[in-house]
């Protein structure tokens, strides 16, 4: 039986007008055009609803939401040196959070087997009290809180393979044993969090797993981390839903980082995640878009992700792998350190 793959999208995401900012409307214009051509009618298109104030306040302070809404109502502007808004940014943001919620609903109500929320603005840097790093609302954290509150689910695994550490998502669940947050990210890099010894606090101790990677690492290193660290941790945790902050800025062509993952490398990571979901939680796998700023690499990587989710390991990767002259040698010792810290 073919896997039913949902795609969540709304034109309002293009109304978050950031001008020439690197996180701009062309990211979704290019990606949606490419996947419409590549997949025709093989995806289940699902329209999102806006997240409610109550759902958003499960993660964000109400005072912050009211401040954000007020700033946008005045025409928008810069919230910090990285994060800009426009007159319809608040509407786009609540539909982005709602898109992640809609993906969860579609999966847990068995409308689809897995789903990708193709949203913007992204979310994983947004904290309880502030926007940052291009993010206004923490879409995946809001959706995870929604899943725990509205379904008979006790354990969620969030995997974040964006090249930047999802500090906002980590903060939301740092003391929560019901959500295991696993992040691979270039380090050091914005926002400067996500060290190997940030492992949670109080009841959440041990339920945060940070994998800070060296610049220049690519497909082989990421695959080793997913197979040797993520897989055994996931099997031990036994999640009932796997949620993914899918950022594609670790691609070697991306302008904001210095990692060397290829489109095929992302495909392999998603294949590992799909296998874990099939093994541990009836295939329940939800992804939401985070970063990725090289338009062709982003479009190809999202398409590769959707192909793997659909059960097809064949996809286009015309960009190929990067030409590298040096091979990292520290991986083995790094993996051993992670295994020791997390008792693998």
pLDDT in tens, 286-302: 999 999 999 999 999 99
Structure tokens at 159: 């995997």
- Is the per-residue pLDDT at 330 higher than 90? no
Does residue 125 carry a catalytic annotation? yes
Nearest of 111, 104, 1, 117 to residue 55 by alpha carbon: 104
Give CA–CA dist 191/253, Å, rounded.
21
Domain ranges in the chain?
Answer: 5-316+330-341
- Is the per-residue pLDDT at 177 higher than 80? yes
Q: What is the mean pLDDT of the chain?
A: 97
Please write the tens of the pLDDT for every residue from 145-165.
999 999 999 999 999 999 999
Residue 327 pLDDT? 63
- Is the per-residue pLDDT at 326 higher than 90? no
CATH topology for 5-316+330-341 is 3.40.800
208-224: average pLDDT: 96
Please write the tens of the pLDDT for every residue from 111-144.
999 999 999 999 999 999 999 999 999 999 999 9
204-229: average pLDDT: 97
Instruction: Specify the long-range contacts of residues 88-91, CB closer than 8 Å, at least 24 apart.
Output: 88/12, 88/15, 88/16, 88/17, 89/15, 89/16, 89/17, 89/121, 89/136, 90/136, 91/12, 91/15, 91/50
Residue 313 pLDDT? 83
- Is the per-residue pLDDT at 198 higher than 90? yes
- The pLDDT-based confidence of 188 (bands split at 50, 70, 90) is very high
DSSP 40: T
Tell me, rounded to whole angstroms, the distance of Cα 339 from its chain centroid.
24
Q: Which residue among 60, 124, 125, 164 is the active-site one? A: 125
């Amino acid at each position: 039986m073919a896997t039913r793959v949902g795609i969540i999208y709304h034109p309002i995401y293009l109304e978050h007008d950031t001008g020439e900012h690197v996180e701009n409307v062309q990211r979704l214009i290019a990606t949606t055009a490419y996947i419409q051509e590549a997949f025709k009618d093989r995806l289940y298109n699902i329209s999102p609803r806006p997240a409610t104030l109550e759902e958003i306040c499960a993660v964000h302070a109400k005072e912050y939401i009211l401040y954000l809404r007020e700033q946008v109502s005045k025409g928008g502007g810069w919230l910090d040196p990285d994060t800009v808004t426009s007159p319809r940014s608040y509407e786009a943001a609540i539909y982005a959070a709602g898109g992640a919620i809609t993906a969860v609903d579609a999966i847990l109500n068995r409308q689809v087997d897995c789903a990708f929320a193709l949203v913007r603005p992204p979310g994983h840097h947004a904290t309880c009290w502030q926007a940052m790093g291009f993010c206004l609302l923490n879409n995946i954290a809001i959706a995870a809180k929604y899943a725990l509150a509205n379904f008979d689910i006790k354990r969620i695994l969030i995997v974040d393979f964006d090249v930047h550490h999802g500090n906002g998502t980590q903060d939301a669940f740092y003391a929560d044993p019901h959500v295991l947050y696993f992040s691979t990210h270039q380090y050091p890099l914005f926002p400067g969090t996500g060290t190997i010894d940030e492992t949670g606090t109080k009841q959440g101790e041990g339920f945060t797993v940070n994998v800070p990677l060296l610049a220049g690492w690519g497909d082989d290193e990421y695959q080793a981390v997913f197979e040797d660290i993520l897989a055994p941790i996931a099997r031990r945790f036994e999640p009932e839903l796997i949620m993914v902050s899918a950022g594609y800025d670790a691609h070697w062509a991306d302008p904001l980082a210095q990692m060397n993952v290829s489109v095929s490398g992302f495909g392999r990571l998603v294949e590992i995640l799909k296998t874990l979901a099939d093994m541990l939680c009836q295939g329940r796998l939800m992804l939401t878009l985070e970063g990725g700023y090289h338009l062709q690499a982003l479009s190809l990587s999202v398409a590769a992700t959707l192909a793997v989710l659909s059960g097809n390991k064949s996809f286009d990767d015309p960009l190929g792998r990067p030409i590298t002259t040096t091979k990292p040698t520290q991986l083995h010792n790094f993996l051993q350190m992670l295994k020791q810290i997390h008792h693998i």
